[in-house]
Amino acid sequence: MRPSLLIALLCTVLAASWTPLYAQQPLQPPPAQAAPPKADAPQQRDQSTIVRRVELVDVIFSVFNRRQKFITDLQKENLSVFEDNQRQDIRFFSRETDLPLRVGMLLDTSNSIRDRIKFEQEAAIDFLYNVIRRRKDQAFLMTFDNEPSVILDYTEDLGAMRDVILRQRAGGGTALYDAIYNACRNQLSNPPRPSGDNPQVRRVLVLISDGDDNLSTRSKSEAMEMAQRAGVVIYAISTSTQWVTATEERDPAKQTSRKYHKEAGDKVLDEITAETGGRAFFPYRVDDLAQSFQDIGDELRSQYSVAYVPTNKVHDGRFRSIRIEVDRKGLQVRARKGYYAPRAAADTTKPAAKSPGI
């Protein structure tokens, strides 16, 4: 046989009998299709963890009678809590009478209060010395005119606060809503924690202003939303000069001053304090401030706290109203009007934080 014919015959036989190498190996299932482990395998059961998030809504509130005297002897059984008119199950209840305070002093130094700047300084200093307790409470100072500015960070040194307050001068526009927004977002949302095992503090913003705003980039609703999210209670001391002075008929030597109607700025102070569970005061003289500050101090140490898990589980970021009722006649409740639910987008990044209330 010729060599060329022999070579052709051998190639034909080899081609008919050859099989690719990868087809000879058994196919391995991809990892996603691997057989699941047995249910009774102890090592697999130990490695699995079920995480269940519980979202608590905390509400700080005060109860007082017709004479504005605080009621401090209520129990959980005396209360009913409603969210969007739906009754909620109270999980926790306590009388919060002695929590450390974290106070923001927010001074209006705009041109609109130029003739009342001394009154404002004395009011701020008077408040600090009447309410702030050494080695327990801390306060910071922020001023606002064209824009807000932190003048002194958290401190318990009242002397330093006083000296800084007395150095302030008035001038410029009024960015009130920007100041509230920044104070709540940057300072009060994450205040210094107290020493000890209990990290809870009371977040308070004391606003001394005439309530006017002509320069803010933030709206009033944005400022209020930030205060609600940070769990801040706002108290306001008005510097308004819209008072009417009259001479008494029986004694011409005596004069009385009354605020017969509230101006636009007065109504703003009423609104932002009521929304957060605080109050607005309208003193005419510095001497009238003593009782106002005493009332604020008494209220901050005469409050209650309730917490509940809302029945509405939807994470829509919307505002939800809160109403607290007591079973005794003639009593009134002062609390924030509601809170903002978590947003769904936050769920994919980190667990939703407990709604701040203390």
Going by C-beta distance under 8 Å and a sequence separation of 6 or more, which residues neighbour residue 291? none
pLDDT confidence band for 263 (50 / 70 / 90): confident
Please, which residues bridge with residue 120 across strands?
Answer: none
pLDDT confidence band for 200 (50 / 70 / 90): confident
Pick left, alpha or beta for residue 211 (phi over 0 → left; psi -120 to 50 → alpha; otherwise beta): left
Phi, psi for 62 (deg, rounded to 5): -120, 150
Winning range, highest mean pLDDT, from 138-142, 260-264, 345-349: 138-142
Amino acid at 84: D
Q: What integer is the mean pLDDT of 30-57?
A: 51
Cα distances (Å, whole numbers) of residue 57 to 79, 80, 181, 353: 16, 14, 22, 10
Winning range, highest mean pLDDT, from 61-75, 174-188, 194-208: 174-188
Q: Structure tokens of 167? A: 């150095």
Is 165 in contact with 124 (CB distance < 8 Å)? yes
Q: Structure tokens of 216? A: 């803010």
Q: Which of 241, 255, 26 is nearest to 120 (CA)?
A: 241
Amino acid at 72: T
pLDDT in tens, 75-111: 999 999 999 999 999 999 998 767 899 999 999 999 9
Is 175 in contact with 133 (CB distance < 8 Å)? no
Q: Structure tokens of 337? A: 């009007």
Q: Structure tokens of 180? A: 């509230």
Higher pLDDT, 224 or 131: 224
What is residue 250's predicted lDDT score, i.e. its pLDDT?
63
For residue 186, give the DSSP letter. I
Phi, psi for 67 (deg, rounded to 5): -90, 10
Q: Centre a 10 Å sphere on the Cβ of residue 114 and count the other Cβ atoms it contains.
A: 11
For residue 320, give the DSSP letter. E
- Over the chain, what is the mean pLDDT? 82
CATH, domain 101-301, list 3.30.930.10, 1.20.1530.20, 3.40.50.2020, 3.40.50.410: 3.40.50.410
pLDDT over 70 at 199, yes or no: yes
> pTM score, two decimals?
0.77
Cα distances (Å, whole numbers) of residue 102 to 140, 154, 200, 269: 8, 8, 10, 21
Query: What residue ranges do the domains of the chain occupy?
Result: 57-96+305-348, 101-301
346 three-class SS: helix
What is residue 61's predicted lDDT score, i.e. its pLDDT?
94
pLDDT over 60 at 1, yes or no: no
Cα distances (Å, whole numbers) of residue 242 to 162, 255, 283, 289: 28, 16, 11, 17
pLDDT confidence band for 288 (50 / 70 / 90): confident
pLDDT over 60 at 26, yes or no: no
Q: What integer is the mean pLDDT of 211-224?
A: 96
Going by C-beta distance under 8 Å and a sequence separation of 6 or more, which residues neighbour residue 185? 226, 230
pLDDT over 90 at 73, yes or no: yes
